Structure 1
Amino acid sequence: MRFEQLEQFVALGNLRHFRQAAEQTQISTSALTRSIQTLEDEIGCELVKRSTRSVKLTEQGELFLKYCKTTLSELELTKKTIKQSLFGRDNQKLIIGYTNQASSIVPVSCGQFLAQYPNVKIEMQLQDELELTRKLQLGEIDISVYLQSANSIVSDIHLPDQLVLFVSRSHPLANQDSIRKAELTQYPMYGCFSQSKQVQSMLNEAVESLNKSTGVKIGSIEQVIAGLKTSNSFAIASIEHSKSIAQDPNLVLLKTNKALDREQLIVQTNHQIGTNDHINHLLELIEDAASSKSKQTITY
């Protein structure tokens, strides 16, 4: 009795059709018929009731079907255990979820980690906090990372780290230490288009949060810069343009996230992944990255 015979019988038991079961197991119908007959000869009883229209399992066939499924399931588990013992857990896949606010921490930490553990596969998922909590509880992600305001203190203007606000140097807000949302309401706004769908989505959400979804002017970075120099507008753009902005003596980046140092980075792990050296090392890298950005880190 061979494992492939058990797989063929399971296919027949599930589909109750010789031709379909043969196609699924990639053998001919006649070969499948001979395989089932061989099983019946070895077991010493009839497993299948054949007719021109249907295939039915006998009582003994139903019992044997359960045995086949259990045996094949045990086989897969054993193969997985053997593979882990041969190659180590550093071949596992980790799924890490994080919010926009933690996007300056997680990708950098994962990059540093993969340089030391190239055999580990990491999938990163950008989600909101509620979705992270749901996925962690269901075991769909292994590690979640998000920012939480300490003592319920929330920044008035809170942009993802991938976005920046800027104005012309002659703008009334150019020299302020920190900008609040109410101060922006009186000024028109430019938005710099991004080729990245993810960043563009962040831009759209930020424009909405600033109550500027109507009347905002969209253009390339060159068009936006030109518009700022001839108006009292302010602009939002992807951080990829920050170098161009910083190099232009007529432009100034606005300071909007003054309260970020009062936020906590929350790192939670799925208890099913357990703990080992490389997972602990990844968590340490995340904590180090958070510390370098003056964010307090709490790990559960």
Structure 2
Amino acid sequence: MRFEQLKQFLALGSLRHFRQTAEQTNISTSALTRSIQTLEEEVGHQLVSRSTRSVVLTREGERFLKFCQNTLESYHDTRKHLDNLQLNDSQNVTIGYTFAAVEQVSLCAQFMARHPDVKVNMRLYSKDVLDTLLQNADIDLYINKNTATDGAMRAHFTHGLVIFVHNSHPLAATQSVSTITLQHCPLLGCFSQTLSLQARLEEAVKEMHKSNDIRLGSINEIINYVRQGNAIAIATPEHLERIELHDELVQITFEQAPQVSNDLIIKTGEHTADNVHVNNLVSLFTGTTLSA
């Protein structure tokens, strides 16, 4: 039993259609059929009831679907934890900052004096460039002076995802949207072919408490649904170019709540959640206790 098979069965459980699932997972329909048959042989139970029009999971299939979800979620969490361990062991921290925050960044000298074994790289860029670098995990810590518009970031939210709607949707005219608002709206999600990006999407959906009622599909399927005007969609950055081809689709601003110390905005990347060096630097800039 391979992770690819679990992902294929998870997609089949969501789409309930062999051809669409095969397209989504980039294999032929016959290969997908053989993969599901192999799973059934390995678990010793029929998982799928097939017909010419639809796919129905058996009782055992529904139970196995939950197993796939839990297993892949555990796998993503473990990979994330291992990646963070590697970051901590690397003894490198990259700080991105704007010119307005030069004075505050000088506090790094205190950290470097306490931790001479840690290499601190500092990069000076504009705010917009730093947002992109943080989303792409090219920097570990973002420091900027607070401005009136820094409470929200266009198109992407903390996980580096994109929210979009049809221009006739009520939210298209709003300046920003919060997770609380999204909890009460029908939500569509686009599959990602990149494991780390798919994990980001799943984590964001979980934070919005939409794991049980989100509808997943390919980017083309989701765009078609959104164009009907009554749904909100969430996608990974790889789909941004495809979304921007449709003038009637609007990317929504997502309300962020960055950590602010006096007149500073401090943001950390998702990839640095367990990085002790980054946490120590945040403590230094916010004036809280600095750990050893």
User: Which of the five TM-score ranges fits, normalised by the shorter chain?
Assistant: 0.3 to 0.5
The higher radius of gyration belongs to 1
Greater RCO between the two (CA within 8 Å, min separation 6)?
2
Structure 2 length normalisation: TM-score?
0.43
Structure 1 length normalisation: TM-score?
0.42
